[in-house]
Structure 1
Amino acid sequence: MELNLGGKRALVTGSSAGLGAATAKLLAAEGATVIVHGRDEARSGRVADAIRAAGGVATVVLGDLDTDAGADKVAEAALAGGPVDILVNNAGFYRHLSWTDATAKEWVSTYNTNVVSGVRMIQRLVPQMRERNWGRVITIGGGLATQPMNTHPQYNATLAARHNLAVSLARELKDTRVTSNVVSPGAILVEATKELVTGIGPARGWGNTWEEIEPNAVNSLIPNDRGRFGRADEIAAAVAYLCSDYAEYISGATIRVDGGLVKSAF
């Protein structure tokens, strides 16, 4: 399927690693010019270099989205090369804390990073999309928005807010060709996840090799119909589809990419 992203410019926030990097690489492979965003120049540069090595087009913008000044800097740098047609709000912050340890200060900080930072980019980039009558805003959410755990409540709540703001934005963009949607990942196999699971797997009787550990860990922690962890490329694929002309009739939707997650036991 040709997604027709040639000629489009996409800013993926927090794309120096993980889901953001996978998304940036796939959008570039589909023909979009990608703006890789991060705080670390070396890590962001490696993602952009990988895109270029594969024949894609990428630039790097650096900046902290936690402040208005930082968001201004990122938006100005992103727009310097032309209009931004696609905004993927992926940047976010996570700390595993109990209700006791998650102080009010931690709640405010997490909300600013995970919610307000995305709002800053929407306010700086979506008005131009509306003027051009074409655009895509994809918010990366998560299953914990609707099935929160008893731990890290400050993070769970920000995911719910991200889902909510994306739908509100879709209502605001009524009668335009600018859409707003959520991609909601389940448990995705990134380096930190694999390290955690392989570290505790043998002691919990899940096995000693990854082939043994993965299905047992999934059954114990994140039972789902596919019986495995998701991969970053699978999240990127959902984002890319929503960016395409094929998704013109999808707005205000949450696309779950979680293997049919039943309930997280984390």
Structure 2
Amino acid sequence: MDMKLTGKRALVTGSSAGLGQAIAEALAREGVTVVVHGRNEARAGAVADRIVAEGGRAEVAVGDLSTDQGAGAVADEALSGGTIDILVNNAGAYDQLGWTEATPEVWADTYQTNVLSGVRMIRSLVPRMRASGWGRVIQIGGGLAVQPKSAQPHYNASLAARHNLAVSLARELKGSGITSNTVAPGAILTEAVRDLLWQIAPAHGWGDTWEEIERAAAESWVPNDAGRFGRPEEIAPAVVYLASPLADYISGAMLRVDGGTVRCVG
């Protein structure tokens, strides 16, 4: 299917690895010029080189979005090649801290990285989208925003903030030709998650082979109807669709891609 994205430009934050990389590569395959972002120039450059080697178009912007200075530098670099039509706010971080360990300072740092980073990019890039009369802003959220657990309360709350701001932004952009939506993945098997599962599997008695570990973790740690973890390549198409002109009539929505982790009606 032609997603009608050829010639568009996108910035995917946190796209030097994992889910962000899969999103960047998927957009590039649809003819989008992708600005690959990360805090490590070598890693971001490697992703951009891979996209170009496969016939796509890619640029690189490096910076720490948790600071005004870093976010400003990334926005300037991204805009140096032209208007950004598609902003995917994917960059973020999480840890395994619980209520006892997560101090107010940890909460504040998490919001800087997971929430205010996206706000900074919205404020920098959306005005040019308004001027052109078309654009897409997509937050990468998660099921923990609406179905939180006791662990990682600061991370759960930061995801909820992402979901909330996406709807508020959609209302703000009414009639502008710009849509604002959220893609909410479930537990996704990135390299970092795989490493974590291997590390904690013995303590949980999840088994010795990867197949046993994934099945047991998906059953007891992140229960879902698919019985496994999702792959980055399964989330990226949802982002591509919402980024495309085919999704003109979708704004303020949350698209869950989580194997049935979140159970709700409506």
For the aligned pair, the TM-score class normalised by the smaller chain equals over 0.9
Q: Secondary structure at the match of 1:24?
A: helix
Q: Secondary structure at the match of 2:2?
A: coil
Q: Secondary structure at the match of 2:183?
A: strand
How many residue pairs get matched? Answer: 263
Letter in 2 for 1:101: E
Equivalence for 2:26: 26
Distance 1:205 1:152 in 2: 22
Work out the percentage of aligned pairs sharing the same amino acid.
65
Equivalence for 1:226: 226
Equivalence for 1:162: 162
Equivalence for 1:17: 17
Equivalences for 1:123-142 in 2 at 5 Å?
123-142=123-142
Letter in 2 for 1:169: L
Letter in 2 for 1:258: D
Equivalences for 1:109-258 in 2 at 5 Å?
109-201=109-201, 204-258=204-258
**Offset of 1:200 from its aligned partner?**
3.6
Equivalences for 1:75-90 in 2 at 5 Å?
75-90=75-90
Distance 1:95 1:206 in 2: 21
- TM-score (normalizing by structure 2): 0.95
Distance 2:52 2:140 in 1: 25
**Offset of 1:177 from its aligned partner?**
1.3
Distance 1:204 1:103 in 2: 27
Distance 1:249 1:209 in 2: 45
Distance 1:7 1:151 in 2: 43
**Offset of 1:223 from its aligned partner?**
1.6
Q: Secondary structure at the match of 2:64?
A: coil
* C-alpha contact 2:143 2:262 (8 A) present in aligned 1: no
Distance 1:19 1:220 in 2: 23
Distance 2:200 2:75 in 1: 42
Deviation readout 1:81-130 (Å, 9 max, x if unpaired): 11100000011121221211111111111111111110010011001111
**Offset of 1:207 from its aligned partner?**
2.9
Distance 1:111 1:262 in 2: 23
Letter in 1 for 2:184: S
Q: Alpha carbons of 1:205 and 1:67: their partners in 2 closer, same or farther (altered >3 Å)?
A: closer
Q: Secondary structure at the match of 1:201?
A: helix
Letter in 1 for 2:156: N
Equivalence for 1:53: 53
Distance 1:163 1:81 in 2: 29
Deviation readout 1:53-108 (Å, 9 max, x if unpaired): 11100010111112222222111111111110000001112122121111111111
Distance 1:33 1:243 in 2: 13
Distance 2:190 2:248 in 1: 31
Distance 2:167 2:149 in 1: 23
Distance 1:161 1:218 in 2: 26
Q: Which deviates further from its counterpart, 182-191 or 196-205?
A: 196-205
Distance 1:197 1:214 in 2: 8
Letter in 1 for 2:29: A
- TM-score (normalizing by structure 1): 0.95
Deviation readout 1:157-208 (Å, 9 max, x if unpaired): 1100000000000000111210000000100011122222233435544332
Q: Which runs of 5+ in 1 are unaligned?
A: none
* C-alpha contact 1:66 1:117 (8 A) present in aligned 2: yes
Q: Secondary structure at the match of 1:84?
A: coil
* C-alpha contact 2:86 2:137 (8 A) present in aligned 1: yes
Distance 2:99 2:223 in 1: 25
Distance 1:230 1:184 in 2: 12
Letter in 1 for 2:168: S
**Offset of 1:10 from its aligned partner?**
0.3
Distance 2:191 2:54 in 1: 23
